[in-house]
Amino acid sequence: MAANWKMNKLVREAEDYVARLLPQISDAREVDVAIFAPFTCLHAIARMTQDAPVLVGAQDFYYEDFGAFTGEVSAPMLKDVGAGAVIVGHSERREIFGETNEMVARKTTKAVSAGLLPIVCVGEIKEERDAGRMWEKVGAQVRAVFEYLDAGEIGGDALVFAYEPVWAIGTGEVASPEDAQDAIGKIRGLLGDLVGEGFAEEVRILYGGSIKADNIGEIMAQKDVDGGLVGGASLEADSFAKLVNGAKAVVE
């Protein structure tokens, strides 16, 4: 279960959140928990979670290690402050900041080689879904990753995919459990073709888009859905703790 704070929280707020979250999820060891925080909060929360089963990650990075890339942050820099994971290709980066499939593929490849777990986001916009072109878009986004990433060299635990239909992000309009399963099942099938059955079985694929405590159970119950990437409902520690414990109930 992954929290995506987006551009929210000052350092003090992040610390208060983690202090409040940890005791509430201490019985949910079966669930892998990750927090994707702004760069400015990473150091503080990585320290606080050193001995806790919580993975701390960034929401983006650049695929070169250092150099004249004003404003960017590299994989070694993220690791230096204790991050172990990074979101790659979130739809807000694709739509607002113009990230292309190629950039997403380069970032994914770099994260894997640097030992950061990438959460690679894919998803269609409303017009594409309405036109029956969900899979055309999402399938192409998944394929593009493997134009750079040498899949022969990695196991299914080297990366995570997140299917996030753009029309469901921050809108309150959650995908139906069947739609989530349909897209995620297709992604897993494609990974089987592109990389191999063992990889496809092992790789984790999350759903994201308006996850709340009252819909997490039925989404997580779908065969191919391994977890959730949560924006709005992850911003309060109590609310995110409910989702982690809700996922625990499904896993059990």
164 is catalytic: yes
How far is residue 63's CA from residue 245's CA, in Å, rounded to a whole number? 35
Contact call for residues 213 and 239 (beta carbons, < 8 A)? yes
Indicate the residue among 187 and 229 with the shorter CB distance to ligand PGA.
229
Residue 139 within binding range of ligand PGA, rule CB under 6 A: no
Phi-psi region of 44 (alpha: psi -120 to 50; beta: other; left: phi over 0): alpha
How far is residue 137's CA from residue 182's CA, in Å, rounded to a whole number? 14
Residue 28 within binding range of ligand PGA, rule CB under 6 A: no
Tokens of 42: 């990473």
Residue 189 within binding range of ligand PGA, rule CB under 6 A: no
Residue 123 within binding range of ligand PGA, rule CB under 6 A: no
39-48 and 11-24 helices, crossing angle to 10°: 40
Smallest separation, CB 12 to ligand PGA (Å): 23
Contact positions with ligand PGA (CB under 6 A) in 144-183: 164, 169-170
First and final CA of the chain: distance in angstroms? 15
Question: Which position among 21, 83, 183, 211 is part of the footprint of ligand PGA (CB under 6 A)?
Answer: 211
128 is catalytic: no
Smallest separation, CB 233 to ligand PGA (Å): 6
As annotated, the active-site residues are 90, 164
Residue numbers of the site for ligand PGA (CB under 6 A)? Answer: 4, 164, 169-170, 208-211, 229-233
